[in-house]
């Protein structure tokens, strides 16, 4: 039996016998000739078969096909520049219906996103959705390559936690034998444990969970978190420098491999940003957006989504840059483990990274002095006893360190100019979605 040839590999082949397989995208069942468009994971090709007088098993099988059925075809490849779909076609010799589809699809291109998510396996057959996950694969691979080339260690931290990783807010609690466990909001504690273990530089790409009842275009209850942590830093500037170099590597790989496809499918040109990325203290960013006509509703908090869009527009106009680091966040809106400024305890050595108007990441220098950690946890109203396992990491020596956590789906959404992370998440989970 000859192997199947992915459709994108047909064009360089000489005319002759081939085997292709995929789902039927269109059918033109004419009196003298039958045409099919067959699509697989790599592309689409036209199939053709002259119709014999009186019909035969193959012509009847083609006439009875429903769109979306999976078929396997042996036939003759022919190059013909008159064929609009790639200048090639396959003349059908044999056709096997491997998996027959119901005749009516429950979704169409103009179906709402919620209905499309109900039928995600069908929605993902669209070529542009296939491209989304190829882009994601390339991006993740480039990040891993950069980390490995720079001597990082990959870890896989547990997602069942004995105690909250940051606070009791937004936690999923699950039964665990005779006790309860919590789904990890982030790998934060275990990233820091690796610094105490002497790993030096680590990364992880894995799931995280937030019991956040938000229905916005950028929130999910389960998401993929991209995390890194490094030892022997002087400030959060070291983390930002690592972070921007990593993103340049990821975006360079995406542009080189998929740039033309992305522009054709989404009308977006992938830009590789110059380093260093602009850096603006949060207080200054608030002042900038206020001077440009927008006052953040709560002065003692972070920028709201409109503020993020406004500061991004400012940076785009002034610096021609899609990224901006917002730095020096107030300690009252940061976790207890963020290190505070040596000369101003009201500020932290931390940042948010905003990409095309949306925050994608939070990073910081961590507090590594256990007595300071305990005090800052108490100030946040946390039970130090519940944090004892975490605090033990700091009682036996730990270097200065810092890192970041970044939402993968937000990056891909903004990179491709799409309106919601629902479009770029394989199977989205939100407050009212647990299926499929």
- Cα–Cα dist 220/209, whole Å: 8
Please give the pLDDT value at position 165: 58
Q: Give yes or no: residues 327 and 213 share one domain.
A: yes
Q: Give yes or no: residues 77 and 146 share one domain.
A: no
Please give the pLDDT value at position 167: 57
Q: How many domains does the chain contain in total?
A: 2
Give the C-alpha distances (Å, rounded to integers) separating 131 from 235, 260, 330, 393.
38, 11, 40, 42
Q: Does some domain include residue 112? A: no
Binding residues for ATP: 359, 407-410
Q: Give yes or no: residues 156 and 58 share one domain.
A: no
pTM over 0.85? The answer is: yes
Q: Give yes or no: residues 223 and 300 share one domain.
A: yes
- Cα–Cα dist 270/139, whole Å: 12
Which single residue is written with the structure tokens 């990409």? 355
Work out the number of other CB atoms within 10 angstroms of the CB of residue 94. 12
Select from 244, 233, 205, 224 the least CA-distant residue to 349. Answer: 233
Q: Which pLDDT tens digits describe the chain residue by residue (436 residues)? A: 579 999 999 999 999 999 999 999 999 999 999 999 999 999 999 999 999 988 899 999 999 999 999 999 999 999 999 999 999 999 999 999 999 999 999 999 899 999 999 999 999 999 999 999 999 999 999 999 999 999 999 999 999 988 765 556 689 999 999 999 999 999 999 999 999 999 999 999 999 999 989 899 999 999 999 999 999 999 999 999 999 999 999 999 999 999 999 999 999 999 999 999 999 999 999 999 999 999 988 777 889 999 999 999 999 999 999 999 999 999 999 999 999 999 999 999 999 999 999 999 999 999 999 999 999 999 999 889 888 999 999 999 999 999 999 999 999 999 999 999 999 999 999 999 999 9
Q: Give yes or no: residues 54 and 129 share one domain.
A: no
Which one-letter DSSP state was computed for residue 4?
P
Structure tokens at 424: 């770029």
Binding residues for L-aspartate: 166, 210, 362, 366
Q: Give yes or no: residues 407 and 258 share one domain.
A: yes
Q: Give yes or no: residues 297 and 165 share one domain.
A: yes
SS3 218: coil
Q: Does some domain include residue 386? A: yes
Q: Give yes or no: residues 126 and 187 share one domain.
A: yes
Q: Give yes or no: residues 154 and 243 share one domain.
A: yes
Q: What is the CATH number of the domain that holds 348?
A: 3.30.930.10
Helix pair 127-149, 236-266: axis angle to 10 deg: 150
Structure tokens at 434: 């647990």
Task: Give the domain range for residue 12.
Answer: 7-99
Q: Does some domain include residue 201? A: yes
Please give the pLDDT value at position 300: 74
CB 348, CB 334: distance < 8 Å: yes
Q: Give yes or no: residues 211 and 133 share one domain.
A: yes
Q: Give yes or no: residues 196 and 282 share one domain.
A: yes
Please give the pLDDT value at position 166: 58
Binding residues: 166, 210, 359, 362, 366, 407-410
Please give the pLDDT value at position 168: 61
Max Cα-Cα span within the chain: 91
Structure tokens at 353: 């990274």
H-helix segments, 278-394? 282-291, 305-319, 370-379, 388-392
């Amino acid at each position: 039996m000859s192997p199947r040839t992915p459709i994108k590999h047909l064009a360089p082949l000489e005319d002759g016998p081939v085997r292709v397989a995929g789902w039927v995208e269109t059918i033109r069942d004419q009196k003298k000739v039958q045409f099919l468009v067959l699509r697989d994971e790599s592309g689409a090709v036209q199939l053709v078969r002259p119709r014999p007088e009186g019909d035969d098993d193959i012509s009847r099988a083609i006439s009875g096909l429903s769109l979306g059925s999976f078929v396997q075809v042996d036939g003759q490849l022919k190059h013909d520049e008159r064929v609009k779909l790639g200048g090639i076609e396959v003349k059908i010799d044999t056709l096997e219906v491997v998996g027959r589809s119901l005749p009516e699809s429950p979704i169409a291109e103009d179906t709402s996103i919620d209905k499309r998510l109900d039928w995600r396996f069908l929605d993902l057959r669209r070529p542009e959705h296939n491209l989304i996950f190829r882009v994601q694969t390339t991006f993740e691979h480039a990040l891993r390559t950069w980390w490995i080339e720079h001597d990082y260690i990959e870890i896989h931290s547990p997602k069942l936690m004995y105690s909250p990783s940051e606070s009791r807010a937004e936690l999923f609690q699950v039964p665990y034998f005779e006790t309860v466990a919590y789904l990890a909001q982030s790998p934060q504690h275990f990233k820091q444990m690796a610094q105490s273990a002497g790993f030096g530089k680590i990364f992880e790409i894995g799931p995280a969970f937030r019991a956040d009842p938000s229905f916005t275009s950028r929130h999910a209850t389960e998401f993929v978190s991209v995390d890194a942590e490094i030892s022997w830093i002087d400030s959060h500037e070291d983390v930002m420098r690592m972070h921007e170099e990593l993103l340049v590597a990821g975006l360079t790989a995406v542009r080189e491999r998929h740039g033309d496809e992305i522009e054709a499918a989404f009308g977006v040109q992938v830009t590789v940003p110059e380093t260093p990325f602009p850096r603006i203290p949060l207080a200054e960013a608030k002042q900038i957006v206020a001077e440009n006509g927008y006052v953040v509703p709560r002065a003692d908090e972070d920028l709201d989504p409109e503020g993020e869009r406004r500061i991004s527009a400012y940076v785009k106009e002034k610096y021609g840059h899609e990224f901006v680091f917002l730095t020096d966040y107030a300690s009252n809106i940061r976790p207890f483990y963020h290190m505070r400024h040596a000369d101003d305890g009201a500020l932290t050595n931390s940042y948010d990274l905003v990409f095309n108007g949306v925050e994608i990441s939070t990073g910081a220098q961590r507090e590594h002095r256990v007595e300071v950690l305990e005090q800052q946890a108490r100030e946040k109203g946390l039970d130090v006893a519940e944090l004892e396992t975490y605090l033990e990491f700091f009682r036996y020596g730990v270097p200065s360190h810092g890192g970041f956590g970044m939402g993968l789906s937000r990056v891909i959404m903004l990179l491709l100019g799409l309106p919601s992370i629902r479009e770029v998440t394989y199977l989205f989970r939100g407050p009212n979605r647990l299926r499929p």
